[in-house]
Amino acid sequence: MNYKEYFENKKGIGVLSTADNHGRVDAAIYSRPHVLEDGLLAFIMRDRLTYSNLQTNPFSVYLFIEEGGGYKGKRLFLCKVREERDEEKIKALTKRSYPQAKPEKRYLMVFKVDKELPLVGAGEGSD
């Protein structure tokens, strides 16, 4: 699938789910991912629970619910391949900025897609 085209043309709500090394889960609202030139997906995040979980467990699921009613969207099973801390690169990818009383360090977390399923159902060819 061409994720760059998909995420440029679809609006909706995204949820990134992670778990720590003990299996304790978390879910957080995240915007659409940045699709890098190599096809990998990236999210900008701060040092919070999602980031912390990804330090000990590289696997996550991104659930994207398309706007427009019904149950359309994607479930993307992700694996973290790297983390970048280049603030200039992060700033270039940032679409919005919010005023903060105290600036926080941001990280660019980069993922490969291990598996894609529709929002509802097991997908084609599944039992």
pLDDT at 97: 60
Q: What is the pLDDT of residues 64-104, one digit of tens each?
A: 999 998 899 999 999 999 999 988 888 888 876 655 656 78
Burial 55-92 (b: 16+ CB within 10 A, else e): eebbebbbbbbbeeeeeebbbbebebeeeeeeeeebee
Model-level pTM?
A: 0.89
Domains of the chain: 3-118 (2.30.110.10)
Judge whether 14 and 66 are in contact, CB under 8 Å.
no
Q: What is the pLDDT of residues 72-82, one digit of tens each?
A: 999 999 999 99
Judge whether 34 and 93 are in contact, CB under 8 Å.
yes
